[in-house]
Amino acid sequence: MKSPSKSIENEAFWKQHYQSLKASGISRSAYCRQHNLNYDRFGYWISKWNNSHSDKLVTIKLKPQNPTPEHSILCTLDLKQGHALKIHDMQTLMLILEKYA
């Protein structure tokens, strides 16, 4: 049986500590000591969030430069589960390449 003083250590609990850690500017180990937190458990949650939010590499297929109609596809981004993102606009393509190149 859990003691009544024990905090419920769910995702919200760890997210709050993660936000506080980032704002504190101190190392995770120092933060865990100050707040009596399990360093490895905190690391598990941080890793879980980083893996689920990290940018993934995707294949970009560029079409050769030929005079084409205005609404043609400039490139296709192959995504997970057979999905594809087709880029028709040069500005959009440049924004994506700037961010992920």
Q: What is the pTM of this model?
A: 0.45
Sorted by sequence, the CB contacts under 8 Å of residue 93 that are 6+ apart come out as 74, 75, 87
Which H or E run includes 85? strand 84-87
Amino acid at 71: H
What is the tens place of the pLDDT at every residue in 29-84? 999 999 999 999 999 988 887 776 555 666 677 766 655 555 688 888 888 888 88
Give, for 86, the enclosing helix (H) or strand (E).
strand 84-87
Confidence of residue 17 (pLDDT cuts 50, 70, 90): very high
Q: Are 71 and 88 in contact (CB under 8 A)?
A: yes
Q: List Cβ neighbours of 44 (8 Å cut-off, separation of 6 or more).
A: none
> Smallest Cα–Cα separation from 83: which of 58, 101, 100?
58
